[in-house]
């Protein structure tokens, strides 16, 4: 197996929850083959504490992650796969990285857990659902690539 890892970028609107969780999960689950990064169309101020908490439950530390703009990676990394995890990113970013084939562009629509109303436990449950959905999608994707 080659020592060269393939770069994957996860894109969402704010880069505070879904794309950050996806980056942490892929680096944990497929870090021997891939280097995952993430960015946002309109990056927020900080990674959501509940995203950090639900990945910590899996032994994954993203507490040091910071939201980043898409421009952070344009022309800097050899991005081989682009995965959008919200509709805004899918609509805004369809032709970024023009050399990327359609087969290497994916859209995984995930609910925004921060929109969940209710108790702290109900909100945390929404973040866990997104985490678990991402884990399933990443596991399936790793079998395909």
Q: Per the structure block, which two tokens stand in for 45?
A: 């101020």
In whole angstroms, how far apart are CA 15 and each of 1, 9, 38, 59, 113?
A: 32, 11, 7, 21, 13
Annotated catalytic residue, options 9, 11, 12, 54:
12
Annotated catalytic residue, options 39, 41, 86, 138:
86
Of 12, 18, 78, the closest CA to residue 39 belongs to 12
Q: Is residue 12 annotated as a catalytic residue, yes or no?
A: yes
How far, in Å, CA of 10 to CA of 25, rounded? 11
Annotated catalytic residue, options 11, 47, 93, 134:
93
Instruction: Give the residue numbers annotated as catalytic, written as ranges.
Output: 12, 86, 93
């Amino acid at each position: 197996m080659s020592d060269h890892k393939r770069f994957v970028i996860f894109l969402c609107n704010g880069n505070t929850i879904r794309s950050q969780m996806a980056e942490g999960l892929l680096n944990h689950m497929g870090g021997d083959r891939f280097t995952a990064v993430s960015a946002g169309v309109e990056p927020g101020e900080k990674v959501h504490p509940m995203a950090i908490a639900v990945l910590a439950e899996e032994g994954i530390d993203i507490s040091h992650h910071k939201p980043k703009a898409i421009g952070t990676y344009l022309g800097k990394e050899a991005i081989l796969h682009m995965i959008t995890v919200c509709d805004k990113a899918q609509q805004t970013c369809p032709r970024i990285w023009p050399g990327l084939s359609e087969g290497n562009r994916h859209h995984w629509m995930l609910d925004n857990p921060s929109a969940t109303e209710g108790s702290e436990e109900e909100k945390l449950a929404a973040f866990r659902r997104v985490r678990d959905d991402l884990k399933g999608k990443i596991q399936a994707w790793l079998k395909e690539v």
